[in-house]
Structure 1
């Protein structure tokens, strides 16, 4: 998000300066221009390299977001129809931006800048293949570090992050993948001989034989107890949407996002040796 604020906001005359969930009017013109460029990639023509509207690309994106288009129309009309239809519904426009990034693979920097300067809650994913909810830069950096090694924990963490902060958000699925990421990183450390290890096995071991483990952080009793880690694991397990929770319910997205942040911390702790055998 841009550090600059409008003078009227700084003076207290205007208070509504975002972040915006949908597509506020001030973003429309810039997004229209970006979409038209993204759907008109640079091609080699007889006159050199020019932008050429790709009707097949437009139709692929339209199919992906379930947007009906008129048939047998000129390419320029098809592009205008697409943009006008997206403009009519905020969520449709956001879906279109997400799909264009995934299908057309334009460089995401221009769109990221538009969304940031326009005060949107959305930004482009690091891999440029979709939108995700903007998060605190420090939290995003922690996630990137935790998920950087190519292993099962990272794969699960990336799934959890996508489902918690992406356009295709699903709170329960995000929670499940967060748990799997923690299982993948802690089970080999805490219960390496366990068949089909789950987070419950890790918790059981830490509770019953906690003296075999220590945290780098000494804690209030200066005993390096793994009690804080046990509390963290009890916080994320089980997913309240599962029968093991006792009274199943669908978690809210903010709940799942908090759990994913907690999973990032646990994975990073395990990777850096914060939790280890005594």
Structure 2
């Protein structure tokens, strides 16, 4: 038998994604008057959700004191039992985000068994938190890998982006995933989100369009497709029914490339990226990466 050693400094293993939350419930008074569930989303921690989130954090603290000590030095903050009565707002969300990231994942998964029915799996801490955030109308939810919080985005859009991250090359998928986290995570970084989105498209486009170039960039790929358009086509047909031109790809790449105002500094138009710009280009990059990975853009025979 081979002995194994667990590196305490290694990155946590990626757990399976959290289960889908149950359908939203509406109080009887709303159902009786023809209304469905409340649709308001709360950015901070609303009064009605604060007790449940504090209780969830308290349970995790009591279950793993060693992990709590690690979280304290990672957050550069000491927590006492009395803090539970006052933890709120950004601090409370940061602690929850840290627990999801650094707690042993087997302690958060749905692995508990009902004592009278071993075949029944009871909801674990991650599912309990997901249900509280969803049911309480929080704009925050657990991200796809279960290791932190992110802004709530339409489920179909999130699933499509996650599928693209998984299907793309390791490099392109890694950059696209980093762009998503930088745009929608607990501490958004629009400059990083935009830069990672550009890199994701470069990682997908350069091997397809300029495979023999050691200095290819998204700008050079865009220029080649524009200047050598007769060599490229889309699987999407034009009006005459034949494969379409590469113009839509050139246009999308130009939008992504020219919009990165944070790439350089010291020019009249250089500046930090805005949050809405970062969110927009993450989805733009996801579309381009998916097209490039799926051969939507191809060389003419």
TM-score tier after normalising by the smaller chain length: 0.7 to 0.9
Secondary structure, aligned partner of 1:214: strand
Q: CA deviation at 1:16?
A: 7.6
Distance 1:221 1:161 in 2: 38
CA contact (8 A) 2:24 2:135 kept: no
Q: CA 1:64–1:260 in 2, change beyond 3 Å: closer, same or farther? A: same
Per the TM alignment, residue 58 of structure 1 is displaced from its structure 2 partner at its CA by: 2.5
Matches within 5 A, 1:99-138: 99-105=98-104, 106-107=108-109, 108-138=126-156
Separation in 2, partners of 1:182, 1:7: 49
Q: Give the TM-score, by structure 2 length.
A: 0.77
Structure 1 residue corresponding to 2:261, chosen from 240, 248, 273: 240
Number of aligned residues: 255
Q: Which residue of 2 aligns with 1:86?
A: 87
Structure 1 unaligned residues grouped into runs of 5+? 42-52, 70-77
User: Does 2:179 match 1:160?
Assistant: yes
Preserved CA contact (<8 Å) 1:171 1:252: yes
Q: Is the 8 A contact 1:86 1:96 kept in 2?
A: no
Q: 1:4 to 1:142 in 2, by over 3 A?
A: same
How many angstroms does 1:8 deviate by? 5.7
Helix, strand or coil: the match of 1:140? helix
Taking the TM superposition and a 5 Å limit, the aligned residue runs for 1:1-278 are 2-6=23-27, 11=33, 17-41=39-63, 54=65, 56-69=66-79, 78=80, 80-87=81-88, 90-105=89-104, 106-107=108-109, 108-149=126-167, 151-219=170-238, 222=241, 224-238=244-258, 239-243=260-264, 247-278=269-300
Answer whether contact 1:27 1:118 (CA < 8 A) is retained.
yes
Give the CA deviation at 1:6. 4.3
Structural RMSD (CA): 2.4
Looking at structure 1, the residues matched to 154 and 263 of structure 2 have their Cα atoms a distance apart, in angstroms, of 30
Contact 2:26-2:38 at 8 Å conserved across structures: no
Distance 1:9 1:175 in 2: 42
Q: 1:104 to 1:262 in 2, by over 3 A?
A: same
Bigger shift: residues 259-268 or 30-39: 30-39
Deviations 1:16-43 (A, max 9, x none): 85211110011111112211222232xx
Distance (whole Å) between structure 1 residues aligned to residue 24 and residue 246 of structure 2? 40
In structure 2, what is the Cα distance between the partners aligned to 1:64 and 1:9? 44
The TM-score with structure 1 as length reference comes to 0.83
